[in-house]
Amino acid sequence: MKKEKYIHSGHRERMKERFLSSGFSAFNECEILEFILYQVQPRIDTKQIAYQLLEAFGDLQSVLNADYDALVKVKGIGRTSAEYLMYLKKLYLAYCDYKFENFCLRSVESRQVYFMKKLQYVTQDNTIMIACLNDRMRVIECKIIPANWQAVPELDLLEMIKALIPVHCNQIIIAIKRPNGILGFCTEEIQFAEKLREYFQPLKMKLIDLILFVRGQTLSLESDTRI
């Protein structure tokens, strides 16, 4: 038992040294979960639990997106570990919100990076997100707007205006998150953007760009640039 404890202790010290040296860049997904879990389960070999999490959910992102009830069904994951995993995700999202506060979206590349970071951990498929901008193209506020979804998004435009008026913005960028399909705008989505531009014109509000997010990649309607 003492020998096993010594082996785990040495392994964890080496993992700590790797993390302090280069972060998680040198870790695979199983090692990341193993490292995270032994912060809350210091006396247990968490490697096997990490394997079981990946087997249950498929990949690290899906583990972090899992809800509490799903996590505690995995052998070795109790209340504390499930809460800790959920806490890490919420901490990361809060950090992203802070990091991207007042972010400038003047370039197409900055828009794609911004929405990629904002949407990658949004669990709801078929999501529409709106970035409200000031005159210098900096983000004032970012909102998720309810939408009915068939082949293309259908927005309640009155509800959108109600959400945008308190922000006092005159420029917006809209991002659409699709769960699957080809990374490319269909005719209906292009018509959707034109409809919004016409709708906003009398309100002196300008739609700058439409960003499509599909399976971790983004596409800008303005320049047809992909990231």
pLDDT of residue 227 exceeding 60, the answer is no
pLDDT of residue 220 exceeding 70, the answer is yes
Q: How large is the average pLDDT for residues 146-161?
A: 64
Q: Do domains 2-97 and 104-220 have the same CATH topology?
A: no
Q: Specify the pTM.
A: 0.61
Q: What is the pLDDT of residues 115-136, one digit of tens each?
A: 988 888 777 777 888 999 999 9
Q: What whole-number distance in Å separates Cα of residue 119 and Cα of residue 111?
A: 12
pLDDT of residue 2 exceeding 70, the answer is no
Class of domain 104-220 as given by CATH: alpha beta
Ranking 83-87, 104-108, 146-150 by mean pLDDT, the lowest is: 146-150
Q: How large is the average pLDDT for residues 214-226?
A: 81
pLDDT at 162: 77
Indicate the domain borders of the chain. Answer: 2-97, 104-220
pLDDT of residue 37 exceeding 70, the answer is yes
Beta strands 217-220 and 153-155, pairing class: unpaired
pLDDT of residue 145 exceeding 70, the answer is yes
Q: Which CATH architecture has domain 2-97?
A: Orthogonal Bundle (1.10)
